[in-house]
Amino acid sequence: MLKRVQHDGRKRVLKSLLIANRGEIACRVIRTARRLGIRTVAVYSDADAKALHVRMADEAVHIGSSPARESYLRGDKIIEAAKAADAEAIHPGYGFLSENADFAQAVIDAGLIWVGPKPDSIRAMGLKDAAKKLMAEAGVPVTPGYLGEDQDPKRLKQEADAIGYPVLIKAVAGGGGKGMRRVDDVKGFDDALESAKREAASAFGVDRVLIEKYITAPRHIEVQVFGDSHGNVVHLFERDCSLQRRHQKVIEEAPAPGMDAETRHAVCGAAVRAAQAVNYEGAGTIEFIADASEGLRADRIWFMEMNTRLQVEHPVTEEITGQDLVEWQLRVASGEELPKKQAELSINGHAIEARLYAEDPARGFLPSVGKLDHFDLGDEGRIETGVEEGDAISPFYDPMIAKLIGTGNTRDDAIDELAAMLDGIEVWPVRTNAAFLFNAVVDPDFGDKRIDTGFIEKHLDELVPPSEPSDAIRRAAGTIAVLAAEQNTALPGLAGLRLNAQPRLAVTLNGSPDELAEEEIADVSGFADEARVVVFTEGQMYEFALATRGTGTSHGLHDGEIEAPMPGKVTAVEVKQGEKVAKGQRLLTLEAMKMEHALTAPFDGSVAELIATAGAQVTEGQLLVRVESEQPSS
Ligand code: ADP
């Protein structure tokens, strides 16, 4: 597939390229640029000084401290870096400044080539409300809702009533599922509005919202489009991104299951019209929402928004079309025509992508930060990552650490490959969602194409792996410890060793013990060192301590001490000192890794100590609030 893309010996597209991004997408862009003979320039923040994208690029320029707003969001610094490194063009990746029209304009004004659509096209599609109005005028069907200027909460509530619950509040500047709240009845409206606006203001600097009819059990269908400066626009077929958690894509595939030729023709045609309406150049995605209660039907698919950049999930399109979309972007940016005409593009096979996040599904998907002491994603399938073993996941950026793409002639083949990839993932001590992804792709409903955007919520209990290992896994851990000890005679019983003296001993249990076979667990691997045994199976990681040295003073939930689970900013304190609280009640909101996290009361009681203040930056483990349990009343 992608490997078969041929370099046809045309003149070199560009001489040099600065990539204004980090992580896997920076690495991805560098790879294609290098293949095309283009000199690459990376930019980096303090936290990324030793990051993989910096190591991969021909040159790297430091642009500021770790928070994104002081580095990757500093357009001025990035343009300065491009000038200093004599880069000819800037590729923005996705996120950060990729859909910032002012930045695109500043790049052009500085005499550099902007790898992306014209600033006017970005602006036209930048706000969801304006984009929807424009598309309606161009004859593209749009989701019913309120798009007005009047943002008075009372007015918004009236509009929600008029649309009819459930409704969806969406930040007009939103992206990545942020600033979006589903509201099921009028009672929940005010809270949802306030929280959506707060998240939008902090993430995008604009808190205006629109209100849409919430379509129950919808599917997310999007179409990859491409335009050039010669007036050509083509589509590269559709993707289905219905597997989402909190409106964020988790698993994406191409083509969309159940899409017949006629519907595909209608939807992809509408997408091309949408791109033409804004004189689109470069890579873009038209997102639609489909009411798929009776299968995918052209008259039940509505425009949602356009993303004027390369998408995270572009690899699945590359895999089924055999095209390198980053190469397309670079050719278009340098003034060439699109590499292919519509009639030369076709779908070949099936591809599914899963997003591997540094987060712990068993603890409410809390992001997990730290060093990747053990990091092995295997060598099957296509892997896009921006980290290697020994690198660190920092709290400053999005917690996505890799994308895994399984392919095959059929959807079932692609599922098999992706499941095998996820099964083999070994990451420690950072937690990942690998087991959650594994459970999702092997779910019979997923296999039978019974998918919609509620899939994950509906199956959540089956998808979240148990935090406690089964007895079989415990016994496997014992076996691994014994085998590891046998492998190394200097590891007698794995006790009494000098710290750091031992390398880690990796063990794979082939022909798994009976109880594992009974539980249908195929593959178990793990490692042992002087302090622990770590077991990996089906994407899940279980750690067993070998020695208990000291008891430590861990403040658990039992004593009601609520600590910051990660570094972040307290965005709201919902309780007062002395206030009575009920189990599960929200005490405060912490914003970390670009997301809001609710910290709730572990039991009924009262607020004995309130240390946190709104707006405060807090470090991991910092005590924020202490809840005391209620005195027995008798
Ligand atoms: P973002 O730009 O933040 O990604 P989108 O407008 O693309 O926001 O919507 C993200 C997801 O939210 C969609 O893929 C879909 O699952 C869900 N969604 C959006 N609009 C609606 C709607 N009107 N009804 C139901 N779900 C919706």
Ligand 1 center to 169 CA (angstroms): 10
Decide if pLDDT at 502 tops 80. Answer: no
Q: Examine the domain organization and report whether 370 and 406 are in the same domain.
A: yes
Q: Beta 233-245 vs 370-371: how paired, if at all?
A: unpaired
Ligand 1 atom closest to the CA of 214, numbered from 1: 24
User: Looking at residue 520, what is its pLDDT?
Assistant: 57
Q: Examine the domain organization and report whether 509 and 535 are in the same domain.
A: yes
Ligand 1 center to 114 CA (angstroms): 28
Ligand 1 center to 181 CA (angstroms): 10
Ligand 1 center to 376 CA (angstroms): 33
Name the burial class of residue 273, with classes exposed (0-12), middle (13-18) and buried (19+) by CB atoms within 10 angstroms of its CB: middle
Ligand 1 center to 92 CA (angstroms): 24
Q: CATH no. for residue 16?
A: 3.40.50.20
User: Looking at residue 11, what is its pLDDT?
Assistant: 62
Q: Examine the domain organization and report whether 111 and 55 are in the same domain.
A: yes
Q: Is 179 in the pocket of ligand 1 (CB under 6 A)?
A: no
Q: Examine the domain organization and report whether 7 and 62 are in the same domain.
A: yes
Q: Examine the domain organization and report whether 317 and 361 are in the same domain.
A: no
Kindly report the number of other CB atoms within 10 A of residue 485's CB atom.
17
Q: Examine the domain organization and report whether 297 and 151 are in the same domain.
A: no
Q: Is 289 in the pocket of ligand 1 (CB under 6 A)?
A: yes
Q: Examine the domain organization and report whether 86 and 199 are in the same domain.
A: no
Angle at 469 between CA 463 and CA 475, to 5 degrees: 140
Q: Is 142 in the pocket of ligand 1 (CB under 6 A)?
A: no
CA distance to 100, 370, 383, per residue, from 66 (Å): 20, 15, 26
The pLDDT tens digits for 579-604 are 999 988 889 988 877 677 788 888 88
From 182, 216, 247, mutation site for ligand 1 pocket: most ligand atoms within 8 A of C-beta:
247
- The type of residue at 528 is A
User: Looking at residue 555, what is its pLDDT?
Assistant: 36
Decide if pLDDT at 550 tops 60. Answer: no
What's the total number of domains in the chain? Answer: 6
- The type of residue at 322 is G
Identify whether 128 is part of a domain: no
Q: CATH no. for residue 269?
A: 3.30.470.20
From 250, 289, 312, mutation site for ligand 1 pocket: most ligand atoms within 8 A of C-beta:
289
Q: Examine the domain organization and report whether 529 and 628 are in the same domain.
A: no
Total residue length of the chain: 634
Ligand 1 center to 632 CA (angstroms): 47
Decide if pLDDT at 111 tops 80. Answer: yes
Ligand 1 center to 174 CA (angstroms): 10
Q: Which of 560, 576, 559, 562 is nearest to 618 (CA)?
A: 562
When mean pLDDT is compared across 349-363, 437-451, 553-567, the lowest value belongs to 553-567
User: Looking at residue 198, what is its pLDDT?
Assistant: 94
Domain with 474, as residue range(s), is 466-559
Ligand 1 center to 168 CA (angstroms): 8
Decide if pLDDT at 487 tops 80. Answer: no
Q: Examine the domain organization and report whether 328 and 375 are in the same domain.
A: no
Decide if pLDDT at 461 tops 70. Answer: yes
CA distance to 37, 62, 369, 419, per residue, from 45 (Å): 26, 6, 17, 35
User: Looking at residue 554, what is its pLDDT?
Assistant: 36
Kindly report the number of other CB atoms within 10 A of residue 630's CB atom.
12
| Ligand 1: residue whose CA is nearest its atom 21 | 214
Q: Is 175 in the pocket of ligand 1 (CB under 6 A)?
A: yes
Q: Which of 457, 464, 434, 459 is nearest to 447 (CA)?
A: 459
Q: CATH no. for residue 189?
A: 3.30.1490.20
Q: Which of 332, 269, 311, 272 is nearest to 118 (CA)?
A: 332
Ligand 1 center to 57 CA (angstroms): 35
Decide if pLDDT at 455 tops 80. Answer: yes
From 142, 180, 214, mutation site for ligand 1 pocket: most ligand atoms within 8 A of C-beta:
180
Q: Is 176 in the pocket of ligand 1 (CB under 6 A)?
A: yes
- Best mean pLDDT range from 133-137, 346-350, 545-549: 346-350
Ligand 1 center to 253 CA (angstroms): 17
Backbone angles phi, psi at 289, to 5 degrees: -115, 135
Angle at 43 between CA 40 and CA 44, to 5 degrees: 140
Identify whether 436 is part of a domain: yes
The pLDDT tens digits for 299-314 are 899 999 999 999 999 9
Q: Is 281 in the pocket of ligand 1 (CB under 6 A)?
A: no
Q: Is 571 in the pocket of ligand 1 (CB under 6 A)?
A: no
| Ligand 1: residue whose CA is nearest its atom 2 | 175
Q: Are 386 and 27 in contact (CB under 8 A)?
A: yes
Decide if pLDDT at 519 tops 70. Answer: no
Q: Helix/strand/coil (H, E, C) string of 482-549? A: HHHHHHCCCCHHHCCCCCCCCCCEEEEECCCCHHHHHCCCCCEEEEECCCEEEEEECCEEEEEECCCC
Domain final position from 463, 485, 517: 463
What's this model's pTM, rounded to 2 decimal places?
0.83
Q: Is 28 in the pocket of ligand 1 (CB under 6 A)?
A: no
Q: Is 168 in the pocket of ligand 1 (CB under 6 A)?
A: yes
Per-residue pLDDT, averaged over 318-342, amounts to 98
Identify whether 632 is part of a domain: yes
Please state, for a pLDDT cut of 90, what percent of the chain lies above it. Answer: 70
Per-residue pLDDT, averaged over 545-560, amounts to 50
Q: CATH no. for residue 601?
A: 2.40.50.100
Q: Which of 376, 361, 526, 384 is nearest to 431 (CA)?
A: 361
Domain final position from 532, 559, 586: 559
| Ligand 1: residue whose CA is nearest its atom 11 | 247
Ligand 1 center to 189 CA (angstroms): 18
Backbone angles phi, psi at 541, to 5 degrees: -120, 130
Q: Examine the domain organization and report whether 513 and 538 are in the same domain.
A: yes
Identify whether 121 is part of a domain: no
Which residues are part of the catalytic machinery? 309
- The type of residue at 308 is T
Ligand 1 atom closest to the CA of 304, numbered from 1: 6
Ligand 1 atom closest to the CA of 143, numbered from 1: 23
Split at pLDDT 50, 70, 90, the class of 498 is very low
Q: Residue 16: beta bridge partners?
A: 39
Identify whether 311 is part of a domain: yes
Q: Is 220 in the pocket of ligand 1 (CB under 6 A)?
A: yes
344-368: b (≥16 Cβ within 10 Å) or e: ebebebbbbbbbbbbbbbbeebbbb
Q: Is 257 in the pocket of ligand 1 (CB under 6 A)?
A: no
Please state, in angstroms and rounded to a whole number, the distance separating the CA atoms of residues 395 and 507. 32
Split at pLDDT 50, 70, 90, the class of 495 is very low
Mean pLDDT of the chain: 89
Q: Is 359 in the pocket of ligand 1 (CB under 6 A)?
A: no
Q: Is 451 in the pocket of ligand 1 (CB under 6 A)?
A: no
Decide if pLDDT at 83 tops 60. Answer: yes
Per-residue pLDDT, averaged over 242-248, amounts to 94
Per-residue pLDDT, averaged over 424-439, amounts to 96
Q: Examine the domain organization and report whether 72 and 46 are in the same domain.
A: yes
Q: Examine the domain organization and report whether 448 and 496 are in the same domain.
A: no
Q: Which residues contact 479 (CB under 8 A, 6 or more apart)?
A: 509, 513
| Ligand 1: residue whose CA is nearest its atom 14 | 220
Identify whether 120 is part of a domain: no
From 143, 304, 308, 309, mutation site for ligand 1 pocket: most ligand atoms within 8 A of C-beta:
304
Identify whether 124 is part of a domain: no
Ligand 1 atom closest to the CA of 216, numbered from 1: 25
Q: Strand order in 580-581's β-sheet? A: 561-563, 623-629, 605-610, 580-581
Q: Is 244 in the pocket of ligand 1 (CB under 6 A)?
A: yes
Identify whether 130 is part of a domain: no
